[in-house]
């Protein structure tokens, strides 16, 4: 009686773990297939990168440039101490 119970428990464990293993394997395969399908057929085109040119930027005045240089100099001096 005891041996039969052990055999049934072992059979049930192997059947249960095998079922979970097969299910998870199929789930991974299905996920990979769906991901490949989406990448191949429904992929969105990347947006073109727009690089601003220096011609479109307004010129910086001498006073504004001096203020920016003073701010950068003060920031660098503060972090060097």
What integer pLDDT is reported at residue 55 of this predicted model? 64
Within a domain: 21: yes
Within a domain: 80: no
Within a domain: 66: no
Provide the domain count of the chain: 1
Grade residue 28 by pLDDT with cuts at 50, 70 and 90: very high
Within a domain: 54: no
For residue 26, the enclosing domain spans 1-44
Question: CA separation (Å) from 39 to 28, 36, 43?
Answer: 16, 5, 5
Within a domain: 7: yes
76 contacts: CB under 8 Å, gap ≥ 6:
none
Grade residue 81 by pLDDT with cuts at 50, 70 and 90: low
Q: Return the percentage of the chain with pLDDT > 90, whole number.
A: 59
What integer pLDDT is reported at residue 1 of this predicted model? 64
Within a domain: 40: yes
Mean pLDDT along residues 1-30: 94
Residue 13 has pLDDT above 70, yes or no: yes
């Amino acid at each position: 009686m005891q041996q039969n119970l052990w055999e049934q428990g072992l059979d049930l464990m192997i059947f249960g773990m095998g079922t979970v293993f097969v299910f998870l394997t199929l789930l991974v395969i299905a996920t990979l297939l769906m991901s490949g399908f989406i990448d191949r057929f429904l992929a969105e085109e990347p947006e073109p990168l727009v690089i601003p040119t220096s011609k479109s930027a307004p010129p910086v005045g001498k006073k504004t440039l001096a203020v920016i240089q003073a701010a950068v100099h003060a920031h660098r001096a503060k972090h060097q101490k």
